[in-house]
Chain A
Amino acid sequence: MGDQPLVRWDWITGNLVDPIGTRLLEHLQLSLSPILIGLLLAVVLGVACARWRWLYPPVFTGVNVLYAVPSIALFFLLLPYTGFGPWTAIIPLSLYTLAILVPNVVDGLGQVPDHVRQAAVAMGFSPLRRLVQVEFPIALPVVIAGLRVAAVATISMVSVASLVGLGGLGQLILTDGFRRQFTTPIVVGITLSVLLAFLVDGVLVLAQRLLTPWTRDHGAAAGRGSARRGEGART
């Protein structure tokens, strides 16, 4: 690339809306849907695993094996069925979040002290009501901690979808940058992706503060233990 500067500001100002803005929106859509779908699936699986403990080892192994499948391979394999639509990216990415979220849901529910559960039973809570009104709220800090890791991981992973032509900031990096030997779009893509990850993370931190006021002054200690479980993103 020789004497080309790393970032050319004029390109950025000239392409702010399209492709930069469009790709950013695509990226947001491609990452938020898997996070939400993953959360929903993880809650269902996690509740089932907490209820029937024997389910947990096979489910745990299953989601972890899935996690090890290269995303690019899953994209390719889904292409014949889902085509170049967003689902080709959303399905694999949702599955990946499970490896982080399911253990967090199970751990979170496991953190409900036995005496609290007993007290709920003794006061006449039905099982469903107990789950919704007592166990979920207590598990929430740990679940949100996992959600933060999953969200950051997903947002950084979405870029791979560009290799299959599914859009997002990866497309900016690949099509506008790499194919034209032009670094500016790559730098913009990386930067926006990181900023987006931080933004979503910040929103989750805020949500945690609003939703779990009781954890405020004795620290986020509740969530820390299992947040580290899923450390790290992958591609």
Chain B
Amino acid sequence: MNILLSFWEWFGDPAQWSGAAGIPARLAEHVGYSALALLLAALIGIPIGLATGHTGRGGFLTASLANIARALPTIGVLMLVVLAAGIGLLPVMVALVALAVPPVMVNAHEGVRGVDPQLRDAARGMGMRGWEVLLRLELPVALPLVLLGLRTAAVQVVSTATIAAYVGIGGLGRFIVDGQARREFDMVVGGSLLVVLLAVLVTALFALLRRFLVAPGLRGAATG
């Protein structure tokens, strides 16, 4: 209770709401890094997942790559790239993208592969070409899973983007790191709660996307 109370004080302090070290600026940085990482992960993961799912080839390779990426300790990747390329956006992006690609890629792959083979036959039987089958049939049917993969990745990225603070480029992680350094726990709690809030918002956003993008007949397919 104590912590929550002091958090509320911290949150209500007008000083927190302005300047380069204020909540709005940190939030903007955090959202910016997360969105960029997710976009990059989507650009890499979705095409590969769709392609391997569609052709039925390379599934094993995708799975193995995803497994390795999943097993990589993010901190290690971050620090290695910092030593190699210096402090800045690059190490953060490498670490976050490595984190986000596996769920995006694997779900896109599974989504396409999970399309009922009879449907695929029917589409071919109607005279659709390979890419038409992919765009008109497989992608819409796989969309719920693709979105699920993106959402999982997004939550992880938002939560993990706190590490940007360690390489000095801000984000909500700064509140956590600075709070710890200054022994101001209300700040640590405040920063964490903002991250959680952001994750909840992301989840809600994906629920909305799902409503608008997924054909009504498919909505039961992948929930959660």
Residues of A within 8 A of B (CB): 1, 60, 64-65, 67-74, 76-77, 80, 103, 152-153, 155-160, 162-163, 169-170, 173-174, 177-178, 181, 183, 186-187, 189-190, 193-194, 197-198, 201, 224, 228-235
Contacts and interface: CB of A to CB of B under 8 A. Distances in A.
Given A232-B153, A232-B156, A68 B84 contact: no
A162 B76 CA distance: 11
Interface size grouping (class) on chain B = 35 or more
Interface string B54-94: 00000000000011101111111101101110000000000
A170 B179 CA distance: 22
A25 B94 CA distance: 28
Given A65-B200, A156-B70, A235-B163, A73 B192 contact: yes
Contact of A234 (B159, B179, B191, B192): B159
B176 A73 contact: yes
A170 B77 CA distance: 11
Contacts of A163: 75, 166
Given A190-B80, A232-B103, A170 B73 contact: yes
A69 B192 contact: yes
Interface in B158-173: 158-160, 162-163, 166, 173
Interface in B96-119: 99-100, 102-103, 106-107, 110
Name A's interface SS.
Answer: helix
B159 A69 contact: yes
Given A68-B158, A73-B195, A156-B71, A103 B224 contact: yes
Given A73-B162, A169-B73, A235-B99, A187 B68 contact: no
Contact of A186 (B71, B83, B99, B102): B83
Contact of A173 (B73, B107, B196): B73
Contacts of A198: 67, 71
Contacts of A177: 79, 83
Contacts of A74: 192
B6 interface: no
Contacts of B173: 70, 72
A181 B71 contact: no
A113 B195 CA distance: 40
14 contacts: A72-B176, A76-B179, A163-B166, A169-B76, A170-B76, A173-B76, A189-B73, A190-B73, A194-B71, A197-B71, A228-B110, A231-B107, A234-B99, A235-B74
